[in-house]
Chain A
């Protein structure tokens, strides 16, 4: 099989036109689209500059004393009380909010936050120096911790005062909303861990609570289309590999291969493996070059790149499976043009359903459900989720789906592969 792999890679590599299209066309398109739609990329933190004041109306110390007293008087064992007390001190809700706005390096790139008194904040807003004020109401810490630790329902609300409604303040609203949802999520976790609070996954800091588990980190137009377009072009690699089979068939090379007593599956696996490696190379190349050209993944962690490589690897597997299917079909069909036409139609359909031409988020719910069953759709949406949620993205489910598609395509390819004397 290694001989076939080497041969297929060499043949593909020397087809300069195909190589250049596969490697550079997505890069060119992403760069063009990025410039053309750069004004629309409002999700890009670089385009956002918000001034926010945080007004603390709660006496955190008093709230904490109050919660301590409540816990100590609760009908709980000493051990349980001790755990709750430690937890309460570890997740002071107002501290989490301050950490988010004042200490978070990512957020501080596009939000300038400061702690002010109510009157100073109101004055600044009147002068037009503030975009929003976050009011932490009196009793906030007590109420949230009561709800979080002891399940007492309260109606405490953080108030977000906005000077002028805009898309940017919407984002701020979303951050606040996610922050509160994050607290509620942990509340739910507490209930799940009832009677065994030590084992519950309680937050240790506001940053983790907000960014890793709840808040979707914004992604940019360029980031989306880097993956959406390169996966589309990668799908064409399966078609290209199959068209090479047509040449082998036309030139009777395949007859020569058949009479060497080589197992047909070696021929097919050569194609599959070559497609896998070339797709992997293409996608990595596009991601790296687009990043170097536009800096679209600047500041991303090693984990992000690791996840991206994993996503690309699983997608490459699926494309490799698709090449097995296309290769077998090509061998079975008499008309090369008809076969190529069918492959192009399949790829364009996958491209449309998989969000390669327009963002998945813009699609109807029905279309979005179809996205989840196209190789490029799964990959693009997973990539976006990885951008938003990092390691919390549903990697396993998506990888399993990709692997299933790979196996399915491969089995169809093997099933359709003609017997030696039918080629």
Chain B
């Protein structure tokens, strides 16, 4: 076990933002930490990275506590914060050089490593340009590059793709995948984009209100919903009353309105279609389209927390 948290707790003003969480990461693993805003992901990461002290519990690196010896984890850790933690007035190259120097990367290898990283993040041609002139996606790529200079054994990425264009997002995901698969770097990836975590991570921890509410591989998590069906319907008109009436159908566990219709989670095996049609029509509306979906991690999250990741 590379990293392990034991009843890790962090309180702010008497409120447990992180509440006795236990999780582990094995060396070479790619682990996802999922949760909506305010779930406690960033605080957990800050404690693991030794940026803040926990209120209780412990973080262990290869079985040894890092609370009193934070230097141990700092040596092998690369962190990609949610914010663009770069000097906007410096160029991409100057930023990487500065962070490389303070990571104490030897002068003889630093130059080569900077170019290697710039290649990896696809910014070699623009290395001399100031970061403040970059697009959000390019900044995020440099943000990742700055965490790789000292060849860390573990990289923590805290929502590295927030607010960027699809091209940069793909580039970042490919980079992370490459780091994990080709270099064997351990990854802890937090996001509220479910599809990213599904693509990158073998195991997932789901956090909500400071607690870990579920964990496991994607298959294991999906099995949580093995007793449920997800049905998506489209109506010619919709209202709160219709949603309330659907919720009242006996086998329905959850109803919510999404961008592309109404999502209904119900007990598996119960044929609720006729009940649905009857309920909708009784409210003067019509079902124009419907589909029964295979459950996704998003559905698992919804099932576990009662809210969507982007809530």
Q: Residues on A close to B: CB < 8 A?
A: 3-4, 6-7, 10-11, 14-15, 248, 251-253, 255-262, 266, 420-421
For B74, give its contact among A6, A11, A248, A259 (CB under 8 Å): A259
| B105-132 interface bits toward A, Cβ cutoff 8 Å, 1 = contact, 0 = none | 0000000000000000000000000100
Instruction: Give bound CA distance, A261 to B50, whole Å.
Output: 10
Known contacts A14-B130, A251-B85, A252-B83; A258/B94 CB under 8 A:
no
A256: chain B residues within 8 A (beta carbon): 79, 81, 85, 99, 146-147
Given known pairs A252-B85, A255-B81, the reply for A420 and B90 (CB within 8 Å) is no
Q: Taking chain B's interface residues, is the majority helix, strand, or loop, or is none over half, making it mixed?
A: loop
Q: A15-B89, A260-B74 are in contact. Are A251 and B102 (CB under 8 A)?
A: no
Residues in chain A near residue B94, CB distance under 8 A: 7, 10
The residues of A that contact B82 with a CB separation of less than 8 Å are 252
Residue of A nearest to B100 (CB): A3
Q: How large is the interface on B (under 10, 10 to 19, 20 to 34, 35 or more residues)?
A: 20 to 34
- In angstroms, Cα B71 to Cα A4, docked, is 20
Instruction: Given the known inter-chain contacts A256-B99, A259-B74, A262-B102, please indicate yes or no for A421 contacting B50, CB distance below 8 A.
Output: yes
Is B23 interfacial (CB 8 A cutoff)? no
Chain B, range 3-22, C-beta contacts under 8 Å to A: none
Docked-complex contact A257 and B102, CB < 8 angstroms: yes
Docked Cα-Cα span, A353 to B174, in Å, equals: 61
Sorted nearest first, the 9 A-B pairs with minimum C-beta distance are A3-B101, A14-B89, A252-B85, A252-B83, A256-B85, A260-B102, A261-B74, A253-B85, A11-B89
Q: Which residues of B contact A (CB under 8 A)?
A: 46, 49-53, 70-71, 74-75, 77, 79, 81-90, 94, 98-99, 101-104, 130, 146-147, 150
Contacts of B130 in A (CB 8 A): 14
A251, B84: Cβ atoms under 8 Å? yes
Question: Do residues A420 and B70 form an inter-chain contact, with CB atoms below 8 A?
Answer: yes
Given A256-B85, A259-B49, A260-B103, are A10 and B146 also a contact pair (CB < 8 Å)?
no
Identity of the chain A residue whose Cβ is nearest the Cβ of B46 in the assembled complex: A255
Complex interface: chain B residues within 8 A of A252 (CB): 81-83, 85
Shortest CB-to-CB span from B142 to chain A, Å, is 12
From residue A15, how far is it (CB to closest CB) to chain B in Å? 7
Secondary structure type dominating chain A contacts: helix
How far does the Cβ of A18 sit from chain B's closest Cβ, in whole Å?
Answer: 11
Give chain B nearest CB distance to A412 CB in angstroms: 25
List the A side residues contacting B90 at CB < 8 Å. 7, 10-11, 14
Residues of B near A7 (CB, < 8 A) are: 87, 90, 94, 98
Q: Is B86 within 8 A of A251, CB to CB? A: yes
Give Cα A256 to B144, complex, Å: 11
By beta carbon, the residue of chain A nearest B132 is A14
Contact of B71 among A10, A257, A261 (CB under 8 A): A261
User: Which chain A positions have C-beta within 8 A of B81?
Assistant: 252, 255-256
Cα-based distance from A257 to B50 in the complex (angstroms): 12
> CB distance A259 to B53 under 8 Å?
no
CA of A258 to CA of B85, assembled, Å: 12
Q: Apart from A3-B102, A421-B52, what 13 extra A-B contacts exist at CB < 8 Å? A: A4-B102, A6-B98, A7-B94, A10-B90, A11-B87, A251-B84, A252-B81, A252-B83, A252-B85, A256-B85, A260-B99, A261-B74, A262-B102
Residues of B within 8 A of A262 (CB): 102
CB distance from A112 to the nearest CB of B (A): 59
- Give bound CA distance, A10 to B97, whole Å: 13
Interface CB pairs A-B, < 8 A, 25 = A6-B98, A7-B87, A11-B89, A11-B90, A14-B90, A14-B130, A15-B89, A251-B88, A252-B82, A252-B85, A255-B51, A255-B79, A255-B81, A256-B85, A259-B50, A259-B51, A259-B74, A259-B77, A259-B79, A260-B74, A260-B103, A420-B70, A421-B51, A421-B52, A421-B70
